[in-house]
């Protein structure tokens, strides 16, 4: 077990990269348009739920242009089982209109322009860029936040500050680490009842309520 912080961080990075190098998002998408919609819908909603909703949505509105001209009520009804569906329906239609008007119908692939779109904040932009383009970025969702804190990689109170801490620690492989932290948090280091008995980073964990092996 390494003792210096730097050595600990390196070992955590190596373990996650080895394990999750080929991991992929569980959101189902075929192109940039679909992943952008999936990520917007996934805020405070499960990937499983989003994957149930999107096939009908994408069948009826297969691209930015069709979504820009969609009826709000229709989109609301197609995504009604998603959390915050009223706001999300407005956001995705407005986003599509902005892409048509401001970007000639092409979804921009840089952080600044993505974040100018309705419903797209820092986390959503980062997830799209790291998933779709493999960019060296972290995005801090509820799983990444929890795992980062339990592994003592950050003590920050907000997602934004946690992202800064992670970026200081990890200079490369951020997209793989993001994916790894999400899946590790979803299936092993769960919010309630973490599976500490199978945990492969048990010795690094500083969580006060971690279970004995």
Among the residue ranges 8-16, 47-55, 73-81, 197-205, the one whose residues contact ligand SF4 (CB under 6 A): 197-205
Q: Does 15 bind ligand SF4 (CB under 6 A)?
A: no
Q: Rounded to whole angstroms, how far apart are CA atoms 22 and 166? A: 21
Residue selected from 32, 109, 156, 205 as contacting ligand SF4 according to rule CB under 6 A = 205
Tokens (6 digits) for 53: 């909703």
Among the residue ranges 17-25, 58-66, 120-128, 193-201, the one whose residues contact ligand SF4 (CB under 6 A): 193-201
Residue selected from 143, 150, 174, 178 as contacting ligand SF4 according to rule CB under 6 A = 150
Per rule CB under 6 A, count of chain residues that contact ligand SF4: 13
Q: Is position 141 annotated as part of the catalytic site?
A: yes
Q: Does 188 bind ligand SF4 (CB under 6 A)?
A: yes
- Active-site entry in 141, 157, 203, 206: 141
Q: Is-contact 23 46, C-beta < 8 A? A: no
Distances (CA, A) of 56 to 50, 80, 174: 11, 12, 33
Query: C-beta of 114: minimal distance to ligand SF4 in Å?
Result: 31
Q: Is position 102 annotated as part of the catalytic site?
A: no
């Amino acid at each position: 077990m390494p003792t210096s912080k730097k050595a600990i961080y390196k070992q955590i990075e190596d373990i996650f990269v080895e394990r999750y190098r080929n991991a992929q998002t569980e959101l189902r998408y075929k192109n940039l348009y679909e992943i952008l919609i999936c990520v917007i819908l996934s805020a405070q909603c499960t990937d499983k739920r989003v994957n149930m909703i999107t096939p009908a949505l994408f069948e009826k509105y297969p691209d930015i242009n069709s979504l820009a001209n969609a009826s709000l009520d229709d989109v609301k009804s197609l995504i009604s089982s998603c959390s915050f569906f009223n706001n999300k329906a407005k956001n995705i239609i407005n986003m599509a209109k902005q892409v048509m008007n401001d970007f000639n119908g092409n979804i921009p692939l840089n952080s600044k322009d993505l974040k100018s779109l309705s419903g797209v904040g820092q986390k959503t932009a980062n997830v799209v860029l790291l998933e779709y383009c493999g960019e060296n970025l972290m995005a801090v969702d509820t799983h990444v936040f929890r795992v980062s804190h339990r592994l003592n990689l950050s003590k920050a109170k907000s997602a934004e500050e946690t992202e800064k801490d992670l970026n200081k620690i990890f200079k490369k492989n951020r997209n793989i680490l993001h994916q790894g932290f999400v899946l590790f948090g979803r299936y092993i280091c769960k919010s309630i009842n973490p599976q500490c008995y199978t945990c492969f980073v048990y010795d690094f964990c500083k969580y006060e309520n971690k279970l004995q092996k």
